[in-house]
A and B are shown apart, each in its own frame.
Chain A
Amino acid sequence: MVPTIAYVIVSAVLFTIGVAGVLLRRNALIVFMSIELMLNAVNLSLAGFARQFGSATGQVFILFVLAVAAAEVAVGLAIILAVFRHRDTVDVDNMNLMKW
């Protein structure tokens, strides 16, 4: 049986790839996809914890993460769409209206 720690480390690797995507890419859509990847990495470790402790709470949390991710995608993509209409670009370097 594969120990829980192996799943948690895979989850950490996926999370790190998501962070690298946010730091490296300037396309707002790809930055957004990287955030989805990070949410999924956390889901993977929650599933591992649920099996480790034999408790359904971890799986309930995954369901909530799924709901929050769906809400976040709907609002986030609408914002990206609105910014694109306004500025004709999805480059995050050009989204500096609220920059101090």
Chain B
Amino acid sequence: MTEWILFIVLTAVAVGSALMMVLNRNPVHAALWLVLTFLAVAVFFLVLGAQFLFAAQIIIYTGAIMVLFLFVVMLLNLEREREPIVTGGQRAAAVALAFALLAVLVIAIAARTSFPTMAMVPGGITLTDLGVALFDEWLLPFELASILLLVAMIGAIALARRRT
């Protein structure tokens, strides 16, 4: 019962703030609404028994990624920029496509997967399970991720450098 209440509240917060992010004209406000969505998803992780990912989500997404976004918004000084309004036809087409995608996703999940009838495997995942899986079965992808981050760091410096 408690899980249902939490689920409904978190869904309302996540979906509501995601919609506010998409519909807000001010990039700073959009970024702050997105932070709220990320926090709701982080609490979803906690409800789903992924305590480590709850912490990682808050530290990486809301702590690092969104701060980077806000820095760039302030560097660009977009206040003077007026975002041109998408034309009526394009807006209608975009909304129709989004609803069509949602319909396809929901129908596919409900009709073509076995989730509605499948019994849940009992027993949660502990941090030990996660660590063993990460450093045993998934060790090579883990090392590749560190190379990816290094390349991204070098790439970001090379791209954002001021040409003299």
Which residues of A from 13 to 36 have beta carbons under 8 Å from B?
Answer: 13-21, 23-27, 29-30, 32-34, 36
**Which of B34, B41, B52, B152 is A71 in contact with, Cβ under 8 Å?**
B152
For chain B, what secondary structure do more than half of its interface residues adopt (helix, strand, loop), or is it mixed? helix
Across the interface, do A7 and B152 meet the contact criterion of CB distance under 8 Å? no
- Bound Cα distance A89, B84 (Å): 12
Chain A: number of interface residues, binned into ranges: 35 or more
A-B contact count (CB 8 A): 240
Across the interface, do B152 and A74 meet the contact criterion of CB distance under 8 Å? yes
Q: Mark B96-126, 1 if CB is under 8 A from A, else 0.
A: 0111011001100110010110101111110
Return 22 A-B CB contacts under 8 Å, by A number: A3-B116, A3-B120, A4-B120, A7-B44, A8-B109, A8-B115, A12-B109, A14-B37, A17-B15, A17-B22, A18-B22, A20-B95, A21-B22, A29-B27, A34-B21, A37-B18, A44-B44, A47-B48, A55-B125, A71-B151, A74-B156, A77-B69
